[in-house]
């Protein structure tokens, strides 16, 4: 349903209605949130996606598939997103427990990036928390956790 408005040229303009599509709303929220964090992290030379990957890689190293599952990404997307991190020497690929496995490990340089980025991330997090309020954040997190659990359980 569209509401037709009249613009200064007297041509009808369709005003968008609020979407009933849950995916649309979640993607819009995710984009808006990501923009806030990306802006905050820019002085550290990193974006939110890179920050998340670095934070979850760990010093002992973790298998690619494990990191992908934790991030909710498929392996091919994570592999593509890892390339600039490996090229920047923030993450390295090391042998796993057997010859077939490779583990990803954060480097000393990657740790320094995280040390620079952590306070910037915290500031962005605090601004969002303040804007939503403690109860709003708790309610949002509870709803998101329920949705994530339900969708993970229904995954093919």
Instruction: Return the CATH number at 60.
Output: 1.10.10.10
Say whether pLDDT at 64 is over 80.
Answer: yes
Distance separating alpha carbons of residues 79 and 61, to the nearest angstrom? 15
pTM to 2 decimal places: 0.80
Q: Looking at the predicted structure, is the pLDDT value of residue 146 above 60?
A: yes
What pLDDT is recorded for position 1?
41
List C-alpha distances in Å: 2 to 12, 18, 47, 54, 115.
Answer: 11, 10, 37, 44, 49
Q: Which domain holds residue 48?
A: 22-153
Would you say residue 49 lies in a domain?
Answer: yes
Rounded to an integer, the average pLDDT of 121-141 is 95
Total domains present in the chain: 1
Position 15 scores a pLDDT of 55
Tell whether 140 is covered by a domain: yes
């Amino acid at each position: 349903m569209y509401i037709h408005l009249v613009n200064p040229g007297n041509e009808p303009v369709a005003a968008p209605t609020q979407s009933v599509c849950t995916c649309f709303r979640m993607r819009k929220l995710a984009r808006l949130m990501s923009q806030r964090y990306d802006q905050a992290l820019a002085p550290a030379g990193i974006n939110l996606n890179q920050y998340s990957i670095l934070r979850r890689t760990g010093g002992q190293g973790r298998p690619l598939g494990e990191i992908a599952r934790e991030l909710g990404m498929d392996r091919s997307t994570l592999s593509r997103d890892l390339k600039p991190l490996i090229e920047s020497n923030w993450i390295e690929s090391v042998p796993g427990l057997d010859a077939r496995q490779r583990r990803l490990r954060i480097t000393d340089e990657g740790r320094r990036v995280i040390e620079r980025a952590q306070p910037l991330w915290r500031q962005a997090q605090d601004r969002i928390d303040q804007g939503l309020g403690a109860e709003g954040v708790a309610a949002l997190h509870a709803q998101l956790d329920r949705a994530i659990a339900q969708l993970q359980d229904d995954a093919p």
